[in-house]
Amino acid sequence: MTGTTMNDHCAISALNAEEWKKKKTKYERIARDHAAQCRYKKANLYLKGD
């Protein structure tokens, strides 16, 4: 689910805009770094785009 987080007890709560932006930025950095080294580029969802 986009814009939500789950705690250790599986309770889901909404992220505020600042938290969501931080998580999205972190995801994009990790995905970009991985894509640069990925051996299976045809299967990489980040490289495929939306």
Give the three-class secondary structure for 35: helix
What is the predicted pLDDT for the residue at 43? 85
Count CA within 13 A, CB hemisphere, residue 5.
Answer: 11
Q: Which two tokens stand for residue 11?
A: 């309770």
Q: Which two tokens stand for residue 26?
A: 């972190």
Give the three-class secondary structure for 6: strand
pTM: 0.67
pLDDT per residue over 2-50, tens digit each? 689 999 999 999 999 999 999 999 989 999 898 888 888 888 877 887 5
Q: How far is CA 45 from CA 4, 7, 22, 32, in A?
A: 21, 26, 20, 11
Distance CA 39, CA 43 (A): 9
